[in-house]
Amino acid sequence: MKLRDKEKDVIALLSEAQRESKHNYITEEKLKLIAQEAGLSYSEVYGVATFYSLFSLKPRGEYIIRVCDSGPCHLMGSRSIFEVLEEELKIKVGETTPDGKFTLEETSCLGICDEAPAMMINEKVYGNLTPQEIKKILKRLREKKW
């Protein structure tokens, strides 16, 4: 198998591993297993896993909030979205709330520039955000049972 094909394979395996984990990350044990399964070395798998910002090697919250910081969203005020989120969650970008519920990250374009500013929570995309809207979403998620 060509290296490129192996890499495609490995991406699928990495996503699956991350999805299965409650804390949205890939454990070292998993990385090793994936390397064996894909016939790649540890460093190759680590390289792929850290190349894509979608993957995390550190435990993350149950909900990963990714706020778009590309051009259009930036113009439409994504900075203030960050501010609201940081204040509400009491964490900075890249951190996880102590209760393990939320992780805040930034991301590049989510593909709904006409609804900027936008963010994504796990697999769901939210557009036309306002501070009120955000607080509502967070409230809903907080009340949801594990």
For another protein, the binding residues (CB under 8 A) are 28, 31-32, 40-47, 50-51
The residue assigned the tokens 């989510």 is 110
CB of 27 to another protein, least distance (A): 11
CB of 128 to another protein, least distance (A): 30
Output 34 or 119, the one with its CB closest to another protein: 34
How far is residue 64's CA from residue 101's CA, in Å, rounded to a whole number?
9
Output 28 or 87, the one with its CB closest to another protein: 28
Output 42 or 87, the one with its CB closest to another protein: 42
CB of 15 to another protein, least distance (A): 18
DSSP string, the chain: --HHHHHHHHHHHHHHHHHHSTTSS--HHHHHHHHHHHT--HHHHHHHHHHSTT--SS---SEEEEEE-SHHHHHTTHHHHHHHHHHHHT--TT-B-TTS-EEEEEES--S-GGG-S-EEETTEEE-S--HHHHHHHHHHHHHS--
Output 41 or 122, the one with its CB closest to another protein: 41
CB of 69 to another protein, least distance (A): 14
CB of 121 to another protein, least distance (A): 24
Read off the tokens for 74. 């930036």
Output 45 or 65, the one with its CB closest to another protein: 45
